[in-house]
Amino acid sequence: MFRTGRRPVVRVDMNDHSTTSTTFTMVRHLAIFLIPFLLLATAGCESAASKATKAGLAAYRFGDFATARAKFTELAAKTDEDFVLNNCRLGSTALAVNDLDTAEAAFLRAYEVMNSVGVNNGGRTLGATLVDEKIKIWKGEPFERAMTNFYLGMTYYMRHDYDNARAAFENALFKLRDYGGDAKKTDQYREVESNFTLGLLMLAKCQQRLGRDDLAKANFQRVAELRPQLAALADFDWNAKSNLLLFIDYGYGPRKVTNNDGAIVGFGPSPYQAGPIPSPLVRVNGTNINLGGLPQPPVDLLRLAQERQWQSIDTIRVVKSAVGTGLIVGGAIEGTRKGGSPEVGLALAAAGLLLKATSQADVRQWEMLPRTVYILPLHVQPGTYDICVSFPTAGDVNQTWQGVPVPVNGEAAYYFHPQPYTNPVMVWPSTAQPAPAP
Amino acid sequence: MSLKSLFCILHSSFIICLLALTGCGDAVSHGTNTALDGADLNRMTDDMAAQIAADPDVQAAIATTGPLKVVVQPVVNNMTGEVLPRGQAQTFTGRVRLLLSQHNNKNFVWIINRDYFNYLRGKELDNVLGPDPDRAQPDYALTATFSSLTKVSEERRSAYYLCAYELSNLKNGTVLWTGKYEVKKLATSGFLD
């Protein structure tokens, strides 16, 4: 009875040629519209900005910082969805040549948008969810946000602006706590904090320079508690007498990877795949410096990236991909089963393909991040030196700054970014100091 | 035109149409945060300038010694997790000076900050051998210290600000006037934040 009762309805629809024709036409038009879009989502198209980015990154990798800075200065001025990312890239490039004005301004712009909420309001949220995740304003993964704050703080520290450096390092710690999970689970907080001892260590150093010895001692002690191997680096008295501080980048940070479906993002390589982090060798005027227990990496970004807590858009993407697969399968079944509707099957498959096409991962990332940043507080006789930093066990990657001044009082801080393919010898000073406040 | 270019145009058109329909903004057009902003600057400095001008102790000092010689310092940043760049740090005290000099010009003499004075002399004058002994000496310093309690969670970021201004006597260390501005700010995370 049930079958008999349903048949007339089906028969009427199938025999109504005008309705069927209209439906087919609509589906065909939909398919014609969607197929290029779907193909494009797979194939991608390269814009002028994308080409400029690649050129800038290649220049950076090969030590042509002037070209890289010019490329990223242009890109960072555009307030598009890559505004934050391009300012981070510009900041890294400027730091490599000690252009602290540009680095500060670039990281500050990135910091301001990262600290803002609702930047994707006004259509980008809908667009990122329905069409392409790359439409959303890039604000970075948690470790990228923390590193933006770290480099901003480092820039201020190098300028002896310890108030703002302290604030930036505090913000770096906020960012990781932000993604550390449930606030009530104190163990999780501890775990996340221990992975970013880089920020905590620099926070302690700022407090020491600001004369807040009580806070500095507490934070140095916290660093040593969390990572006992950093005890020498977190020694209050050693840091107090330091008059030369070296920030040394090493290696490459995590890379986003997708699966065959292009949907699920992970980070690679793992610390195990990348191997141990080598120790730096520091030569001052050609003489090796005994670093003792100082050269311990305060952070391993490869490890940090593996512990990332996934956020909402990733969940949406995975769900969209799974639902898309379901719709395609459902459409195939509907279209091939006996008595099924080919139009419905086609529509389901098209919707499934659309969902899967728009669930492609956003693989934008800050490519210039290192694997770690060494912090080396040293004490040398005041004067002017040639300082060479190298990693002999990593293909003799090295960088030299010539004519670096070391003061009698206070602590001069310098940034080194040695990398393969280029061993630049750079002459100090590269930029003038800013004018005092009027 | 190649097929790939055609696809590129179609894709871009689709996205542009969607964004046009939904009213897309750029990276700096929609966001809000908990930082002190232009409205705070105006409210705060208007209030501080009015308080200084109307303060009985300040008026008494002017009546006794004549126009006050004041040097202005940038804001000291004691805020938690809030960067205050150099330009902004100068603006928050510089605007108070501007307002006072506009409305009470006869009551104050503004002295250039010593470091900046020496920098200017070194840049603009020939044969500068050192600090100028004839530089006008300030009697008072207008200073400001900003502090904040900032809390960040996955859902929101909140910051309570206390911005304290002082007009201090550089000769005897007394505080002639003090004023404060307090504000609490909250930013709640959205879907993609």
DSSP A181-202: --TT-HHHHHHHHHHTHHHHHH
- The pLDDT value given to residue A193: 52
Q: Residues A324, A352: contact at Cβ < 8 Å?
A: yes
Nearest to B80 by CA among B39, B34, B42, B31: B34
Chain B residue with minimal CA distance to A84?
Answer: B27
**Which residues between 391 and 410 in chain A have a beta carbon less than 8 angstroms from any beta carbon of chain B?**
none
Beta strand A244-250 with A412-416 is parallel
Q: How many CB pairs under 8 A join A and B?
A: 175
Q: Does A137 touch chain B (CB under 8 A)?
A: yes
Nearest to B48 by CA among B78, B64, B72, B81: B72
Lowest average pLDDT, out of A136-140, A160-164, B145-149, B150-154, goes to B150-154
Q: Does B33 touch chain A (CB under 8 A)?
A: yes
Alpha carbon distances (Å) from A364 to A32, A136, A179, A254, A361 = 30, 11, 19, 12, 9
- Contacts of residue B80, defined as CB under 8 A and 6 or more positions apart, other chains included, come to A167, A170, B147, B148, B149, B150, B159
- CB spacing of B33 vs A117 below 8 angstroms: yes
pTM of the model: 0.81
For A403, other C-beta atoms within 10 Å of its C-beta total 12
Cross-strand partners of B160: B149, B184
Q: What's the whole-number mean pLDDT along residues B59-76?
A: 94
Residue A287 DSSP class: E
Q: Does A234 touch chain B (CB under 8 A)?
A: no
- CB spacing of A437 vs B73 below 8 angstroms: yes
Q: What percent of chain B has pLDDT over 70?
A: 82
Q: Which residues in chain A have their CB less than 8 angstroms from residue B13's CB?
A: none
Alpha carbon distances (Å) from A232 to A60, A69, A284, B51 = 33, 37, 21, 51
Give the SS3 label for residue A122.
Answer: coil
Beta strand A255-258 with A383-391 is unpaired
- Tokens found for residue A289: 């410096």
- Tokens found for residue B14: 């689709």
- CB spacing of B190 vs A123 below 8 angstroms: no
Nearest to B69 by CA among B136, B143, B164, B166: B136
CA angle at residue A396 from A392 to A401, to 5 degrees? 100
Q: Residues A205, A216: contact at Cβ < 8 Å?
A: yes
For A57, other C-beta atoms within 10 Å of its C-beta total 17
Give the SS3 label for residue A62.
Answer: coil
Measured CA to CA, the distance from residue A321 to residue B27 in angstroms comes to: 28
DSSP string, A299-351: --HHHHHHTPPP-HHHHHHHHHHHHHHHHHHHHHHHHHSTT--HHHHHHHHHH
CA angle at residue B77 from B71 to B79, to 5 degrees? 150
Measured CA to CA, the distance from residue A417 to residue A103 in angstroms comes to: 14
- The pLDDT value given to residue B17: 56
Give the SS3 label for residue A243.
Answer: coil
Nearest to A90 by CA among A46, A59, A115, A47: A59
Q: Does B193 touch chain A (CB under 8 A)?
A: yes
Q: Residues A153, A168: contact at Cβ < 8 Å?
A: yes
Query: What mean pLDDT, rounded, does chain B reach?
Result: 85
Chain A residue with minimal CA distance to B36?
Answer: A112
pLDDT in 10s for each residue of chain A, 438 residues: 333 333 333 333 434 444 444 544 554 455 445 545 544 444 455 678 889 999 999 999 888 888 999 999 999 999 888 999 999 999 999 999 899 999 999 999 999 998 888 777 666 666 666 666 667 788 888 889 999 999 999 999 999 999 999 999 998 887 555 544 454 544 444 445 546 899 999 999 999 999 999 999 999 999 999 899 999 999 999 999 999 999 999 999 988 887 776 666 678 888 999 999 999 999 999 999 999 889 999 999 888 888 754 344 455 666 677 778 888 888 888 888 888 888 888 888 888 887 777 666 788 899 999 999 999 999 999 999 999 999 988 887 889 999 999 999 899 999 999 888 776 788 887 654 556 666
Q: Does B66 touch chain A (CB under 8 A)?
A: no
Q: What ipTM score was computed for the predicted complex, to two decimals?
A: 0.82
Residue B76 DSSP class: E
The Cα of B156 is separated from the nearest Cα of chain A by a number of Å equal to 9
- The pLDDT value given to residue B117: 84
Nearest to A84 by CA among A119, A113, A49: A113
Of B14, B84, B190, the CB nearest to A117: B190
**Which residues between 86 and 125 in chain A have a beta carbon less than 8 angstroms from any beta carbon of chain B?**
104, 108, 111-113, 115-125
Mutation pick from B9, B114, B192 vs chain A, by most beta carbons of A within 10 Å, is B192
Q: Residues A210, B77: contact at Cβ < 8 Å?
A: no
Cross-strand partners of B151: B158
- The pLDDT value given to residue A396: 76
Chain A residue with minimal CA distance to B27?
Answer: A79
- CB spacing of A170 vs B81 below 8 angstroms: yes
- The pLDDT value given to residue B23: 52
Of B30, B80, B152, the CB nearest to A121: B30
Nearest to A353 by CA among A387, A329, A375, A377: A329
For A394, other C-beta atoms within 10 Å of its C-beta total 17
Of A121, A137, A178, the CB nearest to B154: A178
- CB spacing of B33 vs A136 below 8 angstroms: no
